Amino acid sequence: MLLKTERQITEQGLNKISSGLLPEGTVLISSRAPIGYIAVAEVPLAINQGFIAMKCNGLLDTQFVLQWTLANGSTFQEISKKAFRPIKVVYPDNGLLDEFEKIVGTLHKRCVDLVKQNNRLTEMRDNLSPKLISGELRVEDVNGV
């Protein structure tokens, strides 16, 4: 899962790239060295030519596309979008797909929530540790601890 990006694109830069701003839920796969990294965008983002973006706002949902991508893997050093586009996808009927999304989507959301919580706790630790070590802050001085 991709919760944030290191760099931000400007509006001017966004107007110059063909991908545009991709929506949350887009499945990303790196198509150049290193190939095969897979992530779900948990925030809107823009990509460069080193990624294949699979928007999941149509027939197939994010979790199905993610699991399909993970199951297929890759042994290529590089895969072009032209070579990727004709790959066929076999998918179940809508009822089964809906049940799959209910179960796996709930698990994915829980994972995202736990990663966000872990990030917040890490940030708190990183902010408080130096103050505790220096004596600027004492555990006894903090209410609710």
Contact 31, 51 (CB under 8 A): yes
Q: How far apart are CA 79 and CA 52, in angstroms?
A: 9
Do residues 54 and 84 touch, judged by C-beta distance below 8 A?
no
pLDDT 10s digits, 92-138: 888 998 899 899 999 999 999 999 999 999 999 999 999 888 988 88
Burial group, residue 88, by CB count within 10 angstroms (0-12, 13-18, 19+): exposed
Domains and CATH numbers, the chain: 11-141 (3.90.220)
Contact 44, 21 (CB under 8 A): yes
pLDDT digits (tens, 9 = 90+) for 44-102: 999 888 888 988 877 788 998 888 888 766 555 566 777 777 777 888 888 998 899 89
pTM of the predicted protein model? 0.69
